[in-house]
């Protein structure tokens, strides 16, 4: 079960996180300087963590997706969250290191469907909009995750 949620959340956050947006911690009055990593443009670690928390809460409360979160202890969920934040941090050019499995291995056997993928992307988009992630960065995040779909959605 732990693998099921870790993989799914990773899938989504990873997938959706391969570049997760995070203006969560603070609104920006001016456009971020050109040449900065996506990590910095999104607001850094705290912003990624806030986005991750919101995104996971959306997934866990969705009637279609909550099956991936059933049976996990509070500690297990904290570990999953940590993996997701680290993944996003690394994937967006931050200083963190992700030590989890590759996406294909992590999601094999979970039965993630096309509909699950679509629902997850909608939740990610809603999270990014909630945190007022600029269109450019939102596009980068969504584009990055789309490349992971083949490794996440079951055949």
**pLDDT tens string 89-141:** 998 999 999 898 888 998 898 899 999 999 999 999 999 999 999 999 999 98
- 27 has pLDDT over 80: no
What is the residue-averaged pLDDT of the chain?
81
CB atoms within 10 A of CB 33: 8
User: Domain coordinates of the chain in residue numbers?
Assistant: 2-24+37-152
DSSP collapsed to 3 states, 67-130: HHHCCCCHHHHHHHHHHHHHHHHHHCCCCCCCCCCCHHHHHCCCCCCHHHHHHHHHHHHHHHHH
State the pLDDT at residue 66: 93
State the pLDDT at residue 141: 85
At 85, list the tokens.
């934040």
At 17, list the tokens.
């996180």
Query: For residue 41, what pLDDT band results from cuts at 50, 70 and 90?
Result: very high
- 4 has pLDDT over 70: no
Q: Is the CATH number of domain 2-24+37-152 1.10.490.10?
A: yes
Cβ contacts of residue 84 below 8 Å, gap of 6+? 9, 10, 13, 14, 17, 52, 56
- 45 has pLDDT over 90: yes
CA atoms of 51 and 124, how far apart (whole Å):
9
Over residues 49-55, mean pLDDT: 96
- 12 has pLDDT over 70: no
Over residues 22-50, mean pLDDT: 71
- 15 has pLDDT over 80: no
């Amino acid at each position: 079960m732990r693998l099921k949620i870790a993989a799914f959340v990773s899938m989504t956050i990873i997938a959706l996180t391969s570049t997760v947006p995070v203006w969560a911690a603070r609104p920006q009055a001016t456009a971020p300087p050109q040449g900065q990593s996506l990590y910095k443009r999104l607001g850094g670690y705290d912003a990624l963590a806030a986005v991750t928390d919101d995104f996971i809460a959306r997934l866990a409360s969705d009637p279609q997706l909550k099956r991936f979160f059933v049976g996990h202890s509070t500690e297990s969920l904290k570990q999953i969250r940590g993996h997701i934040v680290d993944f996003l941090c690394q994937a967006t050019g931050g200083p963190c290191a992700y030590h989890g499995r590759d996406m294909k291995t992590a999601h094999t056997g979970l039965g993630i469907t096309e509909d699950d993928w679509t629902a997850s992307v909608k939740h990610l988009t809603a999270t990014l909009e909630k945190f007022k992630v600029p269109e450019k960065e939102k596009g980068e995040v969504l584009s990055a995750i789309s490349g992971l779909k083949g490794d996440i959605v079951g055949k």
